[in-house]
Amino acid sequence: MCGRFTITVDLEDLRVYLEENYDIHEMKQAFELPRFNVSPGQDVITIINDGAKNRVGLLKWGLVPSFAKDEKIGYQMINAKAETLHQKPSFLPSFTSKRCVILADSFYEWKRTDDTKQPMRILKKDEKLFPMAGLWSTFIKEDGTKLHTCTIITTEANELMKDIHERMPVILDEASVKTWLNPRVTNLFELSKLLRPYETNSMKTYAVSAIVNSSKNETQDCIKPLYEQKRP
């Protein structure tokens, strides 16, 4: 699964990344950066395509389907399994026409040991930003206001992740992103082919402090390698 992640760049780094990779030259919303422990229920930096161009903005993490009876369901829908998107009524409409990417530069997962769970940080070897495949939806509240939400798609773990967890977020490459965001692409079989584990040799991982266990902790200490923190 994917229950926590980071986006540790500053606004200028994000601006350059968006221009170079998504041809986005304007950020209409204010983004709080850097983020060292992004958690479910919080707003996340997301990119969608409106049919004419890519747009960047904030969506609440935890998908609330348009037909939901209670928006609290979002906390149960922070992830969506790639293998069953076409089977789930909560995800199928978004899989067909409301696809997005959520930006991150690492994610956390907890490795089981004999007596505890060790939090691990997983990132690309180049430590750069990457797009996680996602779905988004709009829910109309009783007062008529709109709630825009999203979920992160997961797939089976690659060789690096298998020792930590059986699932990992889908990280898209440059070519896959263009197809994934294109609303004119509606072939679910072809889209499903994009939802595969990321290349093992391009990723790395290291242990971090248990302070990431609490979403209240949002300092840079969250990403410090554990062995460095234990040095005298």
The active-site residue, picked from 19, 20, 71, 109, is: 109
Mark whether 109 is an active-site residue.
Answer: yes
Mark whether 19 is an active-site residue.
Answer: no
Q: How far apart are CA 22 and CA 108, in angstroms?
A: 26
What CA–CA distances, in Å, run from 174 to 133, 181, 199? 12, 11, 13
Q: How far apart are CA 178 and CA 155, in angstroms?
A: 19
Residues 6 or more apart whose CB falls under 8 angstroms from that of 41 comprise: 60, 61, 62, 74, 75
Distance of CA 212 to the CA centre of its chain: 17
Largest CA distance in the chain: 57
Q: How far apart are CA 42 and CA 32, in angstroms?
A: 11
The active-site residue, picked from 2, 100, 150, 222, is: 2
3-state DSSP call for residue 43? strand
What DSSP letter does each residue of 6-41 carry, written as one string?
A: EE---HHHHHHHHHHHH------S-----EEEE-TT
Provide the annotated active-site residues.
2, 109
